[in-house]
A and B are shown apart, each in its own frame.
Chain A
Amino acid sequence: MADKKLQFAIYWAASCGGCDVAILDVNEKILDIAAAADIRLWPVAMDFKYKDVEGWADGEIDVCLFNGAVRNSEQLHLARLLRRKCKVMVAFGACACFGGIPGLANLHDRKSIFEAVYGYTASTVNPEGTTPQPHLKVPEGELTLPVFFDDVYSLSQVIPVEYYVPGCPPTPDTIMTAVTAIVTGSLPPPGATVASDKSVCHDCKRKKSDKPTIKRFHRPFEIVPDPEQCLLEQGFTCMGSASRGGCGALCPAVNMPCRGCYGPMPGSLDPGADALAAMTSILAASDDATVAAETARLLDPLGTFYRFTLPVSVLGRAPKAS
């Protein structure tokens, strides 16, 4: 590999673009990456056409960093195409790894989402009821739009994936660890996640009591947190104990409860259930009425506990309307 530069592809699917920006967050080290690798595809930064990718030989690209979830026909097509063209496929960021925030669309289906977006969200102004059409004839020919799916998928649910780089987005340290491993050829066994095997709590400096209890659930804006004490014990729905570390516990360090973007712990079947079981187990309530009152303060438990992981959880999605 020393005499030939590595061939990189960076692609985005159902994502916000944050993962692409995160790559730039490595600052001047981006120059090291550029020195070691040719970036052959990076739609967010440069202009590429489908035919560029289609023109590559199978396996021509060494590594693809694929960010975003897969939720429409175009994303699925590109995922499959890139899989063929790339030797190593890396699910990059929480959406590619677990479905991420777009994965919460699994609470609904394609039809209800479509109706909401073009019909009645608070910011929708559409008096004529104009909606996008999948096909449009123009003088030059027919234009088509990709087809949305009912489900949002993580990358490994649609193609085989070698490595996982979690985070929303992955921190610069995590990115450099992954890139360095690729460049130096010191990759872990396939299937590995480039992050810690311990939870966020392990890296969190906050003080934990011997018998943690939650007296009342709070949302971050409701009270000013004590800067020293464990956020979970202060009643914040901190996902730290149920989430893979490797981020350096950045959020709790600045009074923000962990949102769980590095995904489930190794061996976890369902990170949302893990966190929910833990938090309700230590809720200091001795009677049913208190339990009901306090858990009623847990607003949007599904969006809280499965914020990044709904598509890969045991739940997977809400039951379909049919």
Chain B
Amino acid sequence: MEPRVGVFVCHCGTNIAGVVDVARVAEAARTWANVVHAEDYKFMCSDPGQAMVKQAILRHKIDRVVVAACSPRMHEATFRKACAEAGLNPYLFEMANIREHCSWVHEDKQAATLKAIDIVRMAVAKARLLEPLETRSVKVEPKALVVGGGVAGIQAALNLANAGIKVVMVERQQSIGGRMAQLDKTFPTLDCSACILTPKMVQVAQHPNVTLYTCAEVEEVSGYVGNFDVTIRRKATYVDPDVCTACGICLEKCPKKTTSEFEEGLTTRKAVYRLFPQAVPGKPVVDRESCTYFVNGKCKVCERFCEPKAFRWDDTDKVVHERVGAILVATGYDLYDASALGQWGYGRFPDVITGIEFERLNNATGPTGGRILKKDGTEPKSVAILHCVGSRDRNYKEYCSRVCCMYSLKFAHLLREKTAATVWNFYIDMRCFGKGYEEFYNRLLHEGVKFVRGKAAYVTDQPANDDEKGRLVVSAEATTLGEVLRVPVDMVILASAVTPQPDAPAVARRFGMSLSPDGFFMEKHPKLEPFSTATDGVYLAGACQGPKDIPDAVAHGAAAASTAMALISRGEVEVEAATAQVTEGACSGCKVCQDICPYAAIGFDGPKKVATINPSLCKGCGTCVATCPSSAIVGRHFTDQQVLAQISALFAG
């Protein structure tokens, strides 16, 4: 039977109709083969617009629907649903994008109308060859995996667990807490970071619905939305947590010291350690790399003092398998390696420090007991805080790191409060956009802090006069004064850029995510779905998606949790039907497709020697279709014949 195509052209208010002559598009469509009905309407996506589609399907016995409107990312689902409600298989619907691809990018009305006609003719050509496809539902495992135990991950885990959903939390380090645990005070309220974070850390660890794995990493993820199989490697800690009482005697007695990562290398920790005093879990672990016993074969001093006999020298890595319905990636951020930014002197001058180092200096449990001291142990008389070190700079990171202005103001405040130092802020723009942030800036303007609007060009120890001798000199153009300043100071704090974690590309591959150009994980939609990824069932929480301050990270974590909750409480999920399919007769088992699938959806049937595609995992991206050298994989809903028909239709105009 010949297909009967209905064409509906949307005005989208003036978005399309302002440039494209929509009535002419509909008129042209009426002249094409198989088009039995064509009309235009102000808003096709509105209820009356959808009703028009449904009525026309019934009245004109339409069995192929083409809506010429916006991007299918906006309304494909809307019209598929409308078709289904009129009894038409939703895959017999095709969308022609004459807004993003046409009216929004053209000014010449005549040419844009001709282009819109071409686009719609192509859609009709494809629609003629569309085939009905069946969607399937799969059950959702009522359990979530949270990767990363920073504040965003903690908030997400708590929301899920409080909703009665089982949560597995995986943290790479010895303790959860993440970056926030390293901070001293938080802006703009100046409350103690640890004081507000540690109760949440304890809550999540003690929650009956949460299984916490620290010193652990997700090694492999397979499966699909609702049914992910996750392999977690729990690294050997050489301490039995069930026996250890966390008395801490081993921490005192261990004779071996090594650099403390938590203290940003400003001091040392022991080879048996907990990350910081309020670490959760509080039970120490042995760092095999630095432990004298593992390096030299003898020591075990810790064991001699351990009353409950908790040390297990034969401990090995354990691999744990978990099946979860949703995955929340909350792997956080890193900071730009300031030593790679030579002009500001980090690594060359001991008193050029990074912001996170300053956090530790200022912290009561930090290396100086909370006193702000130079490396020689004296208090600085003047301090320069350099904004945008590595951020907003085409040579390094183009984006704004979003938190530096505010913590730089906080540093200025703390310096004024704790020391008698003169404080200089060198900034490009003051970005104080959050709740209470502008007020905090105004407060600082009255605290005697010197603000220079100009990015510091470099820091040098070469004096130009007696006043500069033996000091660090910051050179910057004060753009409001129009002159270059040289400011001698005793300490320089670099607000270094917030960067993606160094292993973000590998983590992205593991979870089937992509990276945006800045290297952070790519969200599904930058405005409407910043907490989802292109992989169904994998969500983003916190700064792994882009720089965030604490309230934003917490809100993001909660949003990701609620989206995961919606999935889990729905209990089942529909999977895409427009997937790739192997033509077994043509597949010769060359296995070229095996590793190129970004969603790990392709397997191999050994006895038959043919590739197999798991339709629940397949997103229909078409990579394997293009790769298959034997033309043995068909991309359903995007078959060669359909695509060729579109191309032919384009040139038939």
Contact = CB atoms under 8 A, between A and B. Distances in A.
B592 A278 contact: yes
A25 interface: no
B164 interface: no
Interface string A107-144: 00000000000000000000000000000000000000
A198 B586 contact: yes
B621 to A, nearest CB: 13
Contacts of B623: 281
B640 interface: yes
Given A210-B594, A281-B592, A199 B640 contact: no
B296 to A, nearest CB: 39
Interface string B582-595: 01011111111011
A212 B586 contact: no
A241 B592 contact: yes
B628 interface: yes
A240 B588 CA distance: 10
Contacts of B418: none
B588 A278 contact: no
Contact of B631 (A202, A212, A267, A282): A267
A197 B591 CA distance: 18
Given A277-B627, A281-B627, A265 B632 contact: yes
Interface in A218-249: 232, 240-242, 245
B626 interface: yes
A202 B587 CA distance: 8
A268 interface: yes
A47 B596 CA distance: 57
A242 B631 CA distance: 8
Contacts of A281: 592, 596, 623, 626-627
Chain B: interface secondary structure? loop
A201 interface: yes
B595 A199 contact: no
A304 to B, nearest CB: 13
Contacts of B644: 269
A52 B604 CA distance: 58
Nearest to A209: B591
A201 B629 CA distance: 11
B628 A274 contact: yes
Interface in B564-589: 583, 585-589
Is chain A's interface secondary structure helix, strand, loop, or mixed overall? Answer: loop
Contacts of A241: 588, 590, 592, 629-630
B629 A212 contact: no
A18 interface: no
Nearest to A208: B591
A268 B590 CA distance: 16
Contacts of A268: 630-631
Interface string B437-473: 0000000000000000000000000000000000000
Given A210-B604, A269-B640, A199 B630 contact: yes
A198 B609 CA distance: 12
Nearest to A230: B590
B590 A275 contact: no
B629 A202 contact: no
A212 B585 contact: no
Contacts of A266: 586, 631
Contacts of A267: 583, 586, 631, 640
A320 interface: no
A213 interface: yes
Contacts of A208: 589-591
A213 B595 contact: yes
A211 interface: yes
A49 to B, nearest CB: 44
Given A210-B604, A274-B629, A281-B627, A265 B596 contact: no
Given A199-B629, A202-B609, A281-B627, A212 B591 contact: yes
21 contacts: A197-B585, A198-B585, A198-B588, A201-B590, A201-B630, A202-B589, A202-B609, A210-B604, A212-B590, A212-B591, A264-B631, A265-B630, A265-B631, A269-B631, A269-B640, A274-B628, A274-B630, A278-B628, A278-B629, A281-B596, A281-B623
Interface of A: 197-202, 208-213, 232, 240-242, 245, 264-269, 274-275, 277-278, 281-282
